[in-house]
Amino acid sequence: MSKKISLTRYLVEQQRVDGHIPSQLRLLLEVVARACKNISQAVNKGALGGVLGTAHSENVQGEIQKKLDIIANEVLIEANEWGGHLAAMASEEMDAIYVVPNRYPKGEYLLLFDPLDGSSNIDVNVSIGTIFSVLKMPEDDRGVDEGDFLQPGRQQVAAGYCVYGPQTTLVLTVGDGVAMFTLDREQGSFVLTQENIRIPEDTQEFAINMSNMRHWDAPVKRYIDECLAGREGPRGKDFNMRWIASMVADVHRILTRGGVFMYPWDAREPNKPGKLRLMYEANPMAWLIEQAGGAATNGRQRILDIQPSSLHERVSVILGSKNEVDRATSYHAPL
């Protein structure tokens, strides 16, 4: 039986090796992992816990909140506010940033999260997850405000997600590759199950919501049409399609076996660049994908280079196996 390496041991040993993980960041990541464990327990109860269904409220996005959206948000806030490692938090479920109350010490990190991504899947027992991103407070001594969060994704110091599926799995990067930890429910701890994850540069599997096809821009239509044409078409090979409507689950599949995920701009809401949020969905996922050898663009530029202008701004997303992302992105390039 190979020895089990816990998340704590992994972080301590990574810090020894390359100093990427100062003690305050390690504390932050362990607190987030513990919060994800608590969210997993709430999710796993389902109907038995009275946590299914809607909360009869809307979030800042104007989306109906599920009870578990609010529970997950509260778990993350309560777990992180007192530890002294954070200055503030931002969440898909909250309009404004949450500044750590003055009764607690403030730290140098900013935590952003989608507390429960894919919540339309909660009531039908399909995998959902928590996505998180960590930034450092800019170097100055003034108070924290929303502007401190508006950093490009390449500034992240940690990013990850926890997928609540057949297993509860935490996937994490601090800039030195991607590691996967599976929750050992008997021990109550996350155990290292894979590290240095690499995404194949080629794939025959794409993920997109095909029902929006008539609304896509020409480059996306061209890319998907070529995949659908299969071996008789210009790609010369057949493609498979997956769409879980839970970004965490789709990205987890891509990190596990390759693929390309697309949520592009479409004409249904032409003033919005896309559906997904830059700061706490696209940026953390883009960094994980790049750290595993993949690529992530908005069709025209690297997602991690986008300078945010607002906390909840949306973005088009093409991410996954590098050669497919490069091809789809090249179709958007001006002729």
Stretch that binds ligand P6P, among 139-147, 183-191, 239-247, 306-314 (CB under 6 A): 239-247
* DSSP code of residue 135: E
Q: Which of 17, 241, 245, 267 lies at the binding interface for ligand P6P (CB under 6 A)?
A: 245
Q: Round to whole Å and give the CA distance between 185 and 189.
A: 7
In whole angstroms, the minimum distance from the beta carbon of 304 to ligand P6P comes to 19
Stretch that binds ligand P6P, among 44-52, 114-122, 151-159, 303-311 (CB under 6 A): 114-122
Tokens of 140: 């100055």
When the beta carbons of 14 and 297 are compared against ligand P6P, the nearer one is: 297
Judged by CB under 6 A, the number of residues near ligand P6P is 10
279 is a site residue for ligand P6P (CB under 6 A): no
When the beta carbons of 8 and 61 are compared against ligand P6P, the nearer one is: 61
Stretch that binds ligand P6P, among 13-21, 161-169, 234-242, 244-252 (CB under 6 A): 244-252
Binding mask 197-216 for ligand P6P (x = CB under 6 A): ------------x-------
CB-based contacts of 238: which residues, under 8 Å, 6+ apart?
Answer: 204, 230, 231
Stretch that binds ligand P6P, among 14-22, 23-31, 116-124, 144-152 (CB under 6 A): 116-124
Instruction: Determine the Cα angle at 204 with ends 193 and 171, to 5°.
Output: 25
Residue by residue, what is the 3-state secondary structure of 153-218?
HHHCCEEEEEEECCCEEEEEECCCCEEEEEEECCCCEEEEEECCCCCCCCCCEEECCHHHHHHECH
Q: Round to whole Å and give the CA distance between 226 and 125.
A: 33
Residue 89: strand, helix, or coil: strand
When the beta carbons of 57 and 120 are compared against ligand P6P, the nearer one is: 120
Give the residue among 201, 203, 130 at the shortest CA–CA distance from 172.
Answer: 130
Give, as ranges, the residues between 119 and 148 that touch ligand P6P (CB under 6 A): 120
Residue 252: strand, helix, or coil: helix
Q: Which of 51, 110, 247, 279 lies at the binding interface for ligand P6P (CB under 6 A)?
A: 247
When the beta carbons of 24 and 61 are compared against ligand P6P, the nearer one is: 61
284 is a site residue for ligand P6P (CB under 6 A): no
When the beta carbons of 5 and 70 are compared against ligand P6P, the nearer one is: 70
The pairing of beta strand 86-91 with beta strand 109-117: parallel
Stretch that binds ligand P6P, among 48-56, 113-121, 289-297, 319-327 (CB under 6 A): 113-121
CB-based contacts of 72: which residues, under 8 Å, 6+ apart?
Answer: 39, 42, 115, 116, 130
Q: Round to whole Å and give the CA distance between 206 and 228.
A: 10
The pairing of beta strand 178-184 with beta strand 86-91: unpaired
Q: Which of 107, 115, 118, 153 lies at the binding interface for ligand P6P (CB under 6 A)?
A: 118
Q: How many helices (H) and strands (E) does the chain have?
A: 7, 17
Closest-by-Cβ residue to ligand P6P is 247
Q: Which of 93, 117, 205, 266 lies at the binding interface for ligand P6P (CB under 6 A)?
A: 117
Q: Which of 130, 173, 246, 329 lies at the binding interface for ligand P6P (CB under 6 A)?
A: 246
Contact footprint for ligand P6P (CB under 6 A): 117-118, 120, 209, 245-247, 263, 275-276
